[in-house]
Structures are given as C-alpha cells and as structure tokens.
A = this chain, B = another copy of it.
Amino acid sequence: MTEAAEAGRDTEAVSRFVESFAAQLVEAGMQRMAARVFAALLASEEGVMTSAELGEQLQISPAAVSGAVRYLAQTHMVSREREPGSRRERYRVHGDQWYEALTNREAVIKRWEVALREGVASLGPNTKAGRRMAETLAFFEFIDAEVAAMMERWKRHREERFGGSE
C-alpha cells in the first residue's frame, strides 16, 4: 500500500480501534502481542500486512511479530504468504478462516471430553458424581454437533447478506 493510498485513513482512529479491540481479545484470554497483531490486520485496508509494517505500526520488535504470527498461524486465525520473488512474508486475515478458528474451540472441547470420560470411569458411572460428569459430557457432545450445524447456517446467511466469497 502506497503512502498516497494510506492518506485517506485516520491513523489515529485506526490505532485507537486496534488497541481497544486487542484489549478485549486479551481479556478473553488471547496473548497480548497476538491480539494486537490480529487487530491490526483486521483493521488494515487489504487485510494483509508485512512483518515490517506490523512492527512499525505496533512499535514492537521483529521477534515479537514472529512470535505473535506463529501463534496466529497455528490457531488458523491468520495465514502466511510468501510474496513471490522476495523473502518478505505477508500475513493475511481471511474472513472465513477466522470464523473457522472460533469453531476450532472444538479442539479444546474434544480434550475436555476425553478428561471427562476418564473422570466418569474413575468415579464410577453409578455414583452421583459420575452421573453429574456424564451429564456434563453429554452437554459438550451436544454442543459439538450443534456448532457444526450453526456454522453451516452462518455460511448461508452470509451469502444472502454479503454475496460471494470475501
């Protein structure tokens, strides 16, 4: 993005949004640098930024960018692209990816389910505690199935409202 193209943006306002949205993400449990990088990408005009751009906007070291991006890529909230014919890397938020990442809380839920199954087994399925845990387990299993269906509905809803892809 050229400086001319950048000119239309209220840098101050963007930065305020980035920091306030990042703060919300942090409060919800995300690492701080990851949250700030994500918010910056979300607010960038094209949804794409280079490592250098991120470092400059957020005033953080290359190392911090590297760490944040690794986390975001692992959790599928951001994808990395190699600018062809350059060792510069670019990071991108894809609308859909980010929704699906939220869905990936499924992975977390799966591990809870495993732990709960072991718990039911240890406590015995006919104890009160065992039954309580079995019910909790059933809840998570229910949620699992429902979330998948919900994402389907969202995709349809989105098509209607926003038209084609991204």
Number of chain copies forming the complex: 2
- Measured between C-beta atoms, what is the minimum distance from A36 to chain B in Å? 13
Binds B, one of A66-74, A80-88, A111-119: A111-119
Q: Tell me the smallest distance from the CB of A53 to a CB of chain B, in Å.
A: 14
A128, B21: Cβ atoms closer than 8 Å:
no
Interface size on A, residues (CB 8 A): 52
Also in contact, A45 and B158, with CB within 8 A (given A21-B116, A95-B136, A150-B143): no
Question: A142-157 toward B: CB 8 Å interface, digit per residue (1/0)?
Answer: 1100100010011001
**Are A45 and B128 touching (Cβ within 8 A)?**
yes
Residue of B nearest to A112 (CB): B24
11 example contacts (A-B, Cβ-Cβ < 8 A) are as follows A8-B127, A9-B127, A10-B122, A21-B116, A21-B119, A25-B112, A42-B129, A135-B158, A138-B161, A139-B154, A143-B154
